[in-house]
Each structure stands twice: as C-alpha cells, then as structure tokens.
C-alpha cells in the first residue's frame, strides 16, 4: 500500500503510472489530498488542545496545594470543556484516518517504469520465450488420463460439493500426498522452516496480504465468525509478520508450508480450463521469503 505522503508528493507521476494499469486514480487522489489537508488541521487543533489540557492540569495541582479553591474550580470546569473538545477532535481524526485508509486500499501499487502502456496481452513486449518440446504421441489430455486410470473423479466431487472440487482416488490420492511431502522436504533442505498454519484467516490478515477490500468476491467466507478460507498458504504465513518491525540482521526469513487452498475462481469455463484448472479447492506447498528489497 502506498503512503499518503508519497502519493501527494508525486501526484502527477502516480496518476500517469497507474494509467499503465488502466486505473484512473485522479478522483481518488484528489479526495485523498482533501482529506489529508483536513486531517492536518484537526491534528494541529487536537495537539493544541492536548497541550492546553496538560498545562491546566499542572496549574490545578499547583493552585490546589496553595489552597486557592475558587480558582481551582474555574480551571477544572475549563479543563473538562477542553477534554470534551479533545475527545470530539480525536473521534473526527480517527474517522478521517479510516476514510484515508479506505482510499489507500483502492489505489494499487505503481508499475515499474519499464512496463509498457497497453490494454491487452497483445501489447506486452516479449523479452524471451521458452517453448517446451512435447512428444507428438502425448495427445491424451490429463482429464482423460485421470478417468482412464481412475485416479481423479471430477463427477464424484461435483456430486459431493460442486464443480471445482475433485476427488483423488487410489494412486491419485497417494501421488497427491507424496508430492506434498516431496516439495516440503525439498524446501526444508534448501533452508526453509516448515510451519503449519490455520486454513482460516480474519479480516486484518486478508487486508494484510491484499485480498481485501477488492478481492472478497474471490474468497469463501464464514460471515458468522467474519473469517475467510485461505486462497493460498502465503496469506497466513505472511501474516505471521504483520504489525512487526523486523531487524535487518535477522533477514532473510524463510518459511514453507502446505495447505489446501480455496478460491471461487469466477470466470469462463471453456475447454481450455477443463480438468485440474479453475479448481475451487486444491493443494499447494508455498514458500515465503522475507528479505531486503535489494535482494
């Protein structure tokens, strides 16, 4: 998430860069600037009232010791009034900060300056291309192989739950389990520490990795508990470090973990996404590396 100070100081450049992502940010940024100006005014007034309140509190204590009761009463009334004003300003300040954050959540990161302008994939610049040579005899698609050897049953999954929830059977289930262990062992041997994380996350975690506020339609939610099924282990693993300031000497931090993943995967369902594509539930071994940006 971009900082307000960066957006405001580089307003024109941010607007121009985000147009590369076909995102018009002008209205949001103008609203952000207006709110930030309002925040500064209220913040100044709030800090001034706090200073007055602290000064009066000291004077009340001094007058009380000197036995000046009438003057103490007057100052106490003034102190109460200022405290009420301070409370009101604090509430306004919090509301504006929430509004600012809501805008920041809607503004995406700016792309690298080398990213070209474009509206479709045809506008992409090919930097290098690698083509895999496929055996001409390999003409049977994986969904037919799965049916032939009875290792994945898409129809059974559809019966139990719905489309996108396959059932792995026999050697298919064994292969799935073996691959999970294989990839975890490979990652561990490369220095990653295995963690077993929750398959549900709260709202703060979903915000922390950018699923919210604009991707909730792609997530399965549990409204009663305000929790979300994870789309990948990256979400809970990354949120291990949410709200932490990590000392540079402890970098890099390497984590790996396996979880089932859940995604609504809204979109087209043509022949090109048959079989193990567009799944709503799938297994994944994730790696997360926390490191210095230069690395």
Query: Is 272's pLDDT higher than 60?
Result: no
What are the pLDDT digits (tens) for 78-130? 888 988 999 999 999 999 999 999 999 889 899 988 888 888 888 888 888 88
Give the SS3 label for residue 28. helix
**Cα dihedral angle (74, 77, 78, 81), rounded to 10 degrees?**
-170
pTM: 0.74
Query: Is 262's pLDDT higher than 90?
Result: yes
**Tokens matching residue 33:** 């600037």
- Report pLDDT for 270: 53
Q: Give the phi and the psi of residue 229 in degrees, each rounded to 5.
A: -70, 140
Q: Give the phi and the psi of residue 176 in degrees, each rounded to 5.
A: -60, -45
What are the pLDDT digits (tens) for 145-160? 999 999 999 999 999 9
Give the SS3 label for residue 227. strand
Assess contact for 165 and 279: CB atoms under 8 A.
Answer: yes
Query: Is 285's pLDDT higher than 90?
Result: yes
What are the pLDDT digits (tens) for 70-87? 777 777 888 889 889 999
- Report pLDDT for 22: 87
What are the pLDDT digits (tens) for 42-60? 999 999 998 988 888 888 7
Alpha carbon distance 94, 36 (integer Å) = 12
Closest C-alpha among 224, 229, 234, 225 to residue 200:
229
What are the pLDDT digits (tens) for 172-201? 999 999 999 999 999 999 999 999 999 999
Tell me the torsion sign for CA atoms 174, 179, 182, 188.
Answer: negative
Query: Is 267's pLDDT higher than 70?
Result: no
What are the pLDDT digits (tens) for 206-239? 989 988 887 778 899 999 999 999 999 999 999 9
- Report pLDDT for 242: 95
- Report pLDDT for 277: 86
Query: Is 281's pLDDT higher than 80?
Result: yes
């Amino acid at each position: 998430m971009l900082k307000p100070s960066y957006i405001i100081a580089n307003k024109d450049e941010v607007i121009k860069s985000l147009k590369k992502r076909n995102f018009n940010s002008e209205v949001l940024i103008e609203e952000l600037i207006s709110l930030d100006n309002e925040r500064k005014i209220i913040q100044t007034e709030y800090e001034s009232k706090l200073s007055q309140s602290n000064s009066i509190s000291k004077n009340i204590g001094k007058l009380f010791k000197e036995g000046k009761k009438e003057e103490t009463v007057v100052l106490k009334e003034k102190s109460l009034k200022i405290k009420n004003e301070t409370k009101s300003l604090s509430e306004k300040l919090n509301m504006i900060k929430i509004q600012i954050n809501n805008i920041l959540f809607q503004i995406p990161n700016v792309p690298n300056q080398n990213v070209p302008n474009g509206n479709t994939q045809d506008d992409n610049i090919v930097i290098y291309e690698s083509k895999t040579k496929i055996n001409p005899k390999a003409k049977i698609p994986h969904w037919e192989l799965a049916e032939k050897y009875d290792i994945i049953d898409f129809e059974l999954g559809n019966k139990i739950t719905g489309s996108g929830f396959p059932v792995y059977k026999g050697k298919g289930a064994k292969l799935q389990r073996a691959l999970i262990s294989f990839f975890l062992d490979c990652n561990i041997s490369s220095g990653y520490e295995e963690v077993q994380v929750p398959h549900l996350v709260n709202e703060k975690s979903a915000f922390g990795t950018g699923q919210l506020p604009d991707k909730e339609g792609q997530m399965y939610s549990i409204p009663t508990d305000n929790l979300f099924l994870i789309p990948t282990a990256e979400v809970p693993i990354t949120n291990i470090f949410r709200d932490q300031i990590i000392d540079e000497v402890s970098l890099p931090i390497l984590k790996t973990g396996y979880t089932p993943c859940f995604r609504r995967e809204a979109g087209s369902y043509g022949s090109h996404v048959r079989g193990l594509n567009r799944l709503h539930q799938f297994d994944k071994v994730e790696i997360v590396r926390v490191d210095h940006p230069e690395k």
